[in-house]
Amino acid sequence: MHNLEKAKKLLAECGYTCVLCSHSDTRTSHLRGVAPLLGWLDEGKPLDQYSAADKVVGKGAAYLYILLKIKELYADVISVPAYNTLKQYGIPVTFQTMTQTIKNRDRTGFCPIETAVMDIDNPHTALTAIRRKLEEMKNAGDKNEKS
């Protein structure tokens, strides 16, 4: 079975949020958002032989996949900006549903990570913006818990 098909099958059948497959390895995650991608990026292991399948891909995740140097990507849901960004960097993309933007988790607005990178056109700049936004969100959450 081709790596992308294997990743799609695991994503659909096992409840993962993200799956990476190469000929000799499979990486999976139940973590939401960009957390699994940041974790794999921080490991520093080359992933250029991996195909990926993901539940939801916004522009922030697209930049992280570019930095991970994956071969190809399938998304259940992908935003137009994410699709265009991946295509710009030569990563083949297939998807089930394309949407204008990704919604936040409670569906009351836009995904904060996608919003943070919307006007960015460089993967490394996007990574900095993503980490900054996650830190802001964490700090805001900490303040709310103390109130």
List, in order of start, the domains of the chain with CATH numbers.
3-146 (3.40.140.30)
pLDDT at 97: 97
Taking residues 77-93, what's their average pLDDT? 97
Amino acid (one-letter) located at 89: Y
pLDDT at 143: 66
pLDDT at 144: 64
Res 44 pLDDT > 60: yes
Q: How many whole angstroms separate alpha carbon 130 and alpha carbon 26?
A: 25
Q: Of 106, 96, 103, which Cα lies nearest the Cα of 54?
A: 96
Average pLDDT, the chain: 94
Task: With 0.85 as the threshold, say if the pTM is over it.
Answer: yes
Res 1 pLDDT > 70: no
Res 76 pLDDT > 70: yes
